[in-house]
Amino acid sequence: MRLRNITGSREVIAENEYVVQEPKEQKGKWKSFFGNDNPVHLEIGMGKGRFLMTLAEQNPGVNYIGIEKYSSVLLRALQKMEQNPLPNIRFIRMDAEEITEVFAKGEVDKIYLNFSDPWPKDRHAKRRLPSRQFLARYDEILNPAGDLEFKTDNKDLFTFAEEEVAETKWEIRAITYDLHNDSKMCEGNVMTEYEEKFSSKGNPIYKYIIGR
Ligand code: SAM
């Protein structure tokens, strides 16, 4: 994503009805924020948001929240929302490191990580969204019955992610090293922007579903 400095993106976001401006104030109150009792599903590092918007359209009985660090990227999602507004989706511009300040214990029912940034240098491992440091944060906010789905085309990142799971109380419930040729795991698969780009180059897509 090279769109980090689109002029005015912060201003647009500050006024947009689909962006939660003070997300920490909603901690523990997300169901009343949405005005219903539906489950809350998150995508962390959602990019331009196509994945989450498709799911929100398919599943009106789920509340979706997309988390993205950069205003200029989030702006692209908002532009897409204008073309097809949906009542069951909202966005937060934030660094996922602060996620436990925004969601209370067990308040989230599902988490998606899609094509997370690889942070290839060892010293940056704890910034990777499937790292054990992030798994500990997800453990706090995710309902005990909930699960986390991660997909990527980056083999090194996926290997790292599997190794991190082994160091925690999380368990792998399902795994594939070639999602698009795995009929069971690919059933109902919604492609992300990155997934379309990299699978069209012939890269296999790796995916796990974990729970605890
Ligand atoms: N999920 C999308 C997809 O699959 O097409 C976008 C993938 S893109 C490689 C990763 C996205 O995660 C970027 O938009 C980046 O800004 C966002 N991101 C990375 N680290 C983040 C963090 N700590 N908190 C929130 N967003 C983050």
> What is the 25 CA–ligand 1 centroid distance (Å)?
23
CA atoms within 13 A on the CB side of 148: 28
Q: Whose CA is nearest to atom 6 of ligand 1?
A: 47
> 117: helix, coil or strand?
coil
The candidate with the shortest Cα–Cα distance to 27, out of 84, 97, 107, 86, is 107
Active site residues: 117
pLDDT in tens, 17-63: 999 999 999 999 999 999 999 999 999 999 999 999 999 999 999 99
In degrees, rounded to 5, the angle at the alpha carbon of residue 69 between the alpha carbons of residues 82 and 51 is 50
Tell which atom from ligand 1 comes closest to the C-alpha of 197. 5
Residues 138-184 have pLDDT tens digits of 999 999 999 999 999 999 999 999 999 999 999 999 999 999 999 99
Distance CA 107, CA 27 (A): 9
Kindly provide the b/e burial profile for residues 49-60, where b requires at least 16 CB atoms within 10 angstroms of the residue's own CB: bbbbbebbeeee
